[in-house]
Amino acid sequence: MLKAIVVDDEYPARKELRYILQLTRQVDVVAEFEGGEEALAFIDKECPDVVFLDIRMQGSDGLRVAELINARAKPPRIVFTTGFSEYAARAFELNAENYVMKPYAPERLQAVVQRLLDDTAEKAMLLPHKVAASFKRLTVWNQDRMVVINPDDILFIKADGIHLAVIVTKQANFASRQSLREWEDRLGGTHFMRVHKSFLVNMDQISEISPWFNSTYLLSINHSTETIPVGRKYLKDFCRIMKI
């Protein structure tokens, strides 16, 4: 269940939005506000999960309110709700989760809510493991001895025709006696993702995402000159996690 607030200077618009969100049975609208000042005070005190925020309001500029929300230490997510399409580009520059046009379509809001829930579940699964991973150490063979490495130093792991897999780190490459699938299982739930049948990538080390043929992508990785393709089998999950 998402804890939400609605910020809109028009009473009918607030009531309509609250009603549709409550129909989803996945959102608890805990407060409504006509402008940004009171909403910001509530956010600081109550920490809602998401703010449904109008843009043009009497006495408040929703885009400016969003800037102030984002300046908080733990900002809630923002979904802009507006009758004006021309602010969409600026809205997404402010890391908006979504941009919903008035009049509201219930199916559109249901899709927005579901995406928010999916992202929340994903973060709940990944982040605790990621914090733990920063304290873990992995051992890999380097010729006749074992080397201890930090998972955060791994850039990617690739399948190899000679060895089962090669672990590419900031410092060196290591041949592995485990397969790529075994590494995927070993690092599952952390910040690593299988993006291709031959590549497991540290998502924190992606520096650029470039369009490629068949509507897929090529990934540039920090500290590496190698580019990594995103396979079509993995494209949907990759785009969901990267919010593309």
pLDDT tens-digit profile of 132-145?
444 467 777 776 67
pLDDT at 122: 61
Q: Are 100 and 80 in contact (CB under 8 A)?
A: yes
Give mean pLDDT, residues 174-180: 84
Lowest mean pLDDT among 65-69, 123-127, 151-155, 218-222: 123-127
Query: What per-residue string of b and e applies to 98-110 under the rule 16 or more CB within 10 Å gives b?
Result: bbbeeebeeeebe
Report CA-CA distances (Å) from 61 to 55, 65, 221: 6, 6, 39
Residue 190 has pLDDT above 80, yes or no: no
CB 198 within 8 A of CB 162: no
Lowest mean pLDDT among 40-44, 48-52, 106-110, 129-133: 129-133
Cα radius of gyration rounded to whole Å, the chain: 22
The percentage of residues in the chain with a pLDDT greater than 90, rounded to a whole number, is 57
Sequence ranges of the domains in the chain:
2-127, 138-242
Beta strands in the chain (DSSP E): 2-7, 27-33, 50-53, 56-57, 60-61, 77-82, 98-101, 138-142, 145-149, 154-159, 165-169, 173-176, 192-196, 199-202, 206-211, 217-221, 227-229
What's the pLDDT at 42? 96
Beta strand 217-221 pairing with 227-229: antiparallel
pLDDT of 143 reads 67
> What pLDDT was estimated at residue 164?
80
How much is the average pLDDT of 5-30?
96
Whether residue 170 has pLDDT greater than 60: yes
pLDDT of residue 131: 42
Which residue in this structure is represented by tokens 């399948």?
Answer: 159
pLDDT of residue 124: 57
Task: Decide if pLDDT at 99 tops 50.
Answer: yes
- How far apart are alpha carbons 56 and 131 in whole angstroms? 40
The band of 129, judged by pLDDT with boundaries at 50, 70 and 90, is very low
Instruction: Give whichever of 41-50, 67-76, 131-140 has the largest mean pLDDT.
Output: 41-50
The overall average pLDDT reported for the chain is 88
Q: Are strands 2-7 and 50-53 parallel, antiparallel or unpaired?
A: parallel
- CATH of segment(s) 138-242: 2.40.50.1020
DSSP secondary structure letter of residue 214: G
- pLDDT for 118: 81
Split at pLDDT 50, 70, 90, the class of 189 is: low
Q: Is the pTM of this model over 0.75?
A: no
Whole-number Å distance between alpha carbons of 216 and 80 = 29
Fold for domain 2-127?
Rossmann fold (3.40.50)
